[in-house]
Structure 1
Amino acid sequence: MESGLSSLLSVSIDFETSHLYFPRIIHWIMAGLFAVILVTKVAPFLVAVKRGERTLPIVGEPMDGWRFFGTLALIVAYFYLMTVVGDMFPYTGYGFLFVSMAFVLLMSLMYMHEWTKKSLTIVVVNAVVAPSLAWFVLAKLFTITLP
């Protein structure tokens, strides 16, 4: 009787695959939620488009090419320059800090419609304060290594 009870209470873990247990559960939950969204939101929207009650949001609208391609170029430059600048100041997070400041400034200037002294001041202060605060919290308080 003793060996039967001890085998029932013993646990064996396969360490080669045990780390995949929870990600599989999360993947199935996310797939189920995606299916629910498709059924409850996308399908009725497409039916309304087919009946002519609604239109597709992107088709037929003018595109702001300068902002679209400028955003793509800035994102590519941001990730490239973060490692380049980070290699100049290794293990300090200055690559993240300096490049994020420039990125936030340029993105804000690109999407700003009216260039007034007040709005430019707000953009410059935001471009300095927001990345500095994020850098301080991540790099100094939580000691997370940044590029």
Structure 2
Amino acid sequence: MASGLSDLLSVSIDFETSHLFFPAIIHWLLAGLFALVLVLKVAPFLAAVKRGERTLPIFGESMDVMRFFGTLALIVAYFYLMAVVGDLFPYTGYGFLFVSMGFVLLMSLLYLHVWSRKNLIIVVVNAVVAPSLAWFVLAKLFTITLP
């Protein structure tokens, strides 16, 4: 009896494959969620397109060219400049901090519809506070190396 109970309470870990346990669970959860999206959203949308009630978004609607290409350019510049500025201040995370401030500011200005004093103040405060808070939490509290 004691042997059977101790077998139930003992834990054996295979350290060669134990790190694959949670990623496998995440993969199956993501696959399940993807299947749910396909069944619940994409299939009814495609059925409505086939009936003529809806059109495909890439064909039936106009595109905001400035915002689309502006976003692409800002994303490319963000990743490029993060490495460049990070090399100026190695192992401090200032590359992340300074470039993220500029990125958030320019992205917010790109998508800002109503340019008022109040909205511009909100955009500037957000561009300074959000990256600073993320930098403080990641670089200082969790000591994660940032570019």
SS of alignment partner, residue 59 of structure 1: helix
Q: Deviations over 1:30-82 (max 9, x none)?
A: 21232232122211221111111222233221111111011001001101111
Aligned to 1:78: 78
Query: Displacement, 1:14?
Result: 4.2
> Structure 1 unaligned runs (5+)?
none
Aligned to 1:65: 65
Aligned to 2:37: 37
> Structure 2 unaligned runs (5+)?
none
SS of alignment partner, residue 58 of structure 2: coil
For the pair 1:26 / 2:29, whether they are aligned, the reply is: no
CA distance in 2, matches of 1:137, 1:22: 25
Aligned to 2:122: 122
Give 4+ residue runs of structure 1 displaced > 6 Å after superposition. Answer: 8-11
For the pair 1:46 / 2:46, whether they are aligned, the reply is: yes
CA distance in 2, matches of 1:100, 1:15: 38
Please, what TM-score do these two structures have when normalized by structure 2? Answer: 0.83
CA distance in 1, matches of 2:26, 2:91: 33
Aligned to 1:104: 104
Aligned to 2:134: 134
What code does the residue aligned with 1:88 have? L
Q: Deviations over 1:105-140 (max 9, x none)?
A: 111111122323232222222211221122122222
SS of alignment partner, residue 78 of structure 2: helix
Aligned to 1:87: 87
Count of residues in correspondence between the two structures: 146
Please, what TM-score do these two structures have when normalized by structure 1? Answer: 0.83
